[in-house]
Structure 1
Amino acid sequence: MAINSISLMSPIQITNEANKLTVKPTPYEAGQKFSNFLNEAIQSVNNQQIQSDTMTQKLINGEDVDLHEVMIASQKASITLNATMEVRNKVIDAYQEIMRMSI
């Protein structure tokens, strides 16, 4: 009677996946990835703000836009901006805590 593997991956695939996990990026690459992540996050917040402003201007000009859509866009922009500010505050607090540590 043959014993079948429970895993959907073959042993060769598992070994290859394990090898991929052991390769660590250089500090420069990690910094670049983190920088790109932050830039994308800030760009997303900016896009939410721009979309909210655009919809508000359309409503003011009397264009065909629903009030509830304008309010939803405004709340999304507000929530993303507030969340970004809270993350920034936590990062600054963590930085200050690290600076207070003695070596």
Structure 2
Amino acid sequence: MNNVSFPSINQVMSTTGQTQNNTRTHTPFEAQGKFASVLKQSIEKVNEAQIQSDAMTEKLARGENVDLHQVMITSQKASITLQTTLEVRNKVVEAYQEIMRMQV
């Protein structure tokens, strides 16, 4: 069973070059590319969790030898990762809207 893990804020910040230990500044293009890469990896992990949950549920429905508790745990992990992703997306959209309302 694969564990789904998301990068911590420190990992994301180090990827974009914003940690205190890393004084090198990235160009906006580099930062955008690295952020896009981290975002893509996170979404792929959410998708993997959903696919794994679907596979376990199908095995249970076909009567294959799987533990019910494993199916439920996998399903809950997939649900929680999706809910977390949606909440993060909502916060990002909210922050974007707030920035757009700012007067320059």
TM-score by length of 1: 0.79
Q: Flag as ranges the 4+ runs of structure 1 deviating above 6 A.
A: none
| Equivalent residue, structure 1, for 2:96 | 95
TM-score by length of 2: 0.78
Q: Alignment length, in residue pairs?
A: 84
Q: Distance in 2 between matches of 1:80 and 1:21?
A: 30
Q: What fraction of aligned residue pairs are identical, expressed as a percent? A: 62
Partner AA of 2:78 in structure 1: A
Structure with bigger gyration radius: 1
Q: Secondary structure at the match of 1:22?
A: coil
Q: Distance in 1 between matches of 2:69 and 2:55?
A: 14
| Equivalent residue, structure 1, for 2:61 | 60
| Cα shift at 1:21 | 2.7
**1:1-103 matched pairs, under 5 angstroms:** 21-103=22-104
Gap runs ≥5 in structure 1: 1-19
Q: Distance in 1 between matches of 2:77 and 2:84?
A: 11
Partner AA of 2:64 in structure 1: E
The structure where helix makes up a greater share of residues is 1
- CA distances 1:34-72 after superposition (whole Å, capped 9, x unpaired): 000000000000000000000000000000100000000
Q: Distance in 1 between matches of 2:63 and 2:33?
A: 45
Gap runs ≥5 in structure 2: 1-20
